[in-house]
Structure 1
Amino acid sequence: MSSNVSRVMIAMAAAAVAVTATTGAASTPPTQDSKSPVAVAVHALVTESADAAVLTVPDDFVSVMGYRPRVQDDRAENPEGGCSSPVPLPSEFDPACRAHDLGYDLIRYAAATGTTVDPRWRRSIDAQLETRMHAICTDRTGVGPRQLCDAAASVAATAVDVNSWRQSFGAPVAEPALPFALGGVGVALIALSVTVTARHLPRRSLSTELDAHA
């Protein structure tokens, strides 16, 4: 890998650490609270098997949220979900994003049904997304493609952490695009730098990257 790419990777890592340090994203699951069905469901979503997690989803979730969660590839997920990002993300991230969407919808369900939202729920769901994206990157062959994938995962995770912090780790809500876009300019520029620099990788590394997306 070229020295330019290495420098970009270091810059990305530094930016991710700096931003994540301000958000305080948790890497451990929240304590299970038997008094809250949503707490039970979130705890199961981040600590138990997909089949077990689906069984903990509240009975009226379908009527409130408009869909029934499913189990796909050992993940409990929102079947209509996916990655939403101002910059392109690897298609391999889609399953992790659909699972993340289900987690967020559990929080939205809690807010819609009058349940107090515990900030630890959103922190743990965000942390799970980051872990899964980086795990997905290990399946790529070649050092260059894996590092580019890890860079994309770090950018995406940082953007998610920033947005959660902006919303005080409460229920995810739709907001005007401009404030978030302005706040995410730095992250987007880092991602763009990686994309541009990748064009200068040796032909063999670039071919491997394209094959990974085929």
Structure 2
Amino acid sequence: MTVKSAAVRVASVVFLATAAYAAVPGALARSASTTTEDAAAAATVTALVADDPERALSSLPADFAAVMGYAPIVEQWADGTTVLADPEGDCSTPVPLPAAFESACRVHDLGYDLLRYAHTTGGELGTDARRDLDGLFARHLDTVCRSEPEITSCTPVAGISSAAVQFNSWRQGHRTPVAESPWALAVAAGSVALGFTARKVRR
């Protein structure tokens, strides 16, 4: 698969997704929370973003498993990197992504669940937390591509994926993640990929 075809593959879903997406109102950006942030959830996010799974695990809110329904696990990557992740997380997108991205997606899922936990328990975190988690996701995908260069078109697909996630966070005001159809991300991914393809054509 060429770099261009990888982008086109992602972009192709936008035309089918747009009609369905337009029929479902996007999550409206909510005003900044006036509540006090949950200190344990904030500390866990900070440790997660710092790639410190031991500190993240020790900072985890005591009732996280009871509230969210699972206990995070530590995973080790081929390059020796250790991360704390949602054991049941995945890359929830209608566009197939490299299997090597799955662990990065599970870490990102845990991060988003920490945001949901804090919101549910009355200590919603500020907008920087979601921005930092999206940045972590982008860095993790870059790590995967650098450690596994044999993955076809890894870097452009990683760029499209992380940009789509960041676009969706912007749509939701960088507040607590709102459950939506995967087609919402498909529209974001398609829009990013179309821009990527246009740049390639102009060169």
Q: TM-score normalised to the size of structure 1?
A: 0.67
Q: Greater helix share, 1 or 2? A: 1
- Distance in 2 (CA, whole Å) between partners of 1:83 and 1:180 is 11
Structure 1 residue corresponding to 2:173, chosen from 168, 175, 179: 168
Q: Is the 8 A contact 2:47 2:56 kept in 1?
A: yes
Deviation, 1:116, is: 2.7
What SS does the aligned partner of 2:62 have? Answer: coil
Deviation, 1:126, is: 0.5
Q: Is the 8 A contact 2:89 2:109 kept in 1?
A: yes
- Distance in 2 (CA, whole Å) between partners of 1:140 and 1:35 is 37
Q: Cα deviations across residues 161-195 of structure 1 (Å, max 9, x unaligned)?
A: 0110011011111135665554543235578x6xx
Higher relative contact order (CA 8 A, sep 6+): 2
- Distance in 2 (CA, whole Å) between partners of 1:126 and 1:75 is 15
Structure 1 residue corresponding to 2:72, chosen from 64, 69, 73: 69
Structure 1 residues 96 and 35, CA, compared in 2 at 3 Å: closer, same or farther? Answer: closer
Q: Is the 8 A contact 1:110 1:116 kept in 2?
A: yes
Q: Is the 8 A contact 1:34 1:40 kept in 2?
A: no
Structure 1 residues 159 and 71, CA, compared in 2 at 3 Å: closer, same or farther? Answer: same
Please name the residue that 1:137 is paired with: 145
Deviation, 1:140, is: 2.7
- Distance in 1 (CA, whole Å) between partners of 2:3 and 2:186 is 25
Q: Cα deviations across residues 57-102 of structure 1 (Å, max 9, x unaligned)?
A: 1001011000011111111000000111221111001111101111
Q: Cα deviations across residues 112-138 of structure 1 (Å, max 9, x unaligned)?
A: 001132101000011001001011111
Structure 1 or 2, whichever has the larger Rg, is 1
Structure 2 residue corresponding to 1:123, chosen from 118, 121, 131: 131
Unaligned runs of 5+ in 2: 11-35, 77-81, 198-203
Q: Cα deviations across residues 147-167 of structure 1 (Å, max 9, x unaligned)?
A: x10011001001100110011
- Distance in 2 (CA, whole Å) between partners of 1:127 and 1:113 is 25
- List structure 1 segments (4+ residues) > 6 angstroms apart after TM superposition: 6-9
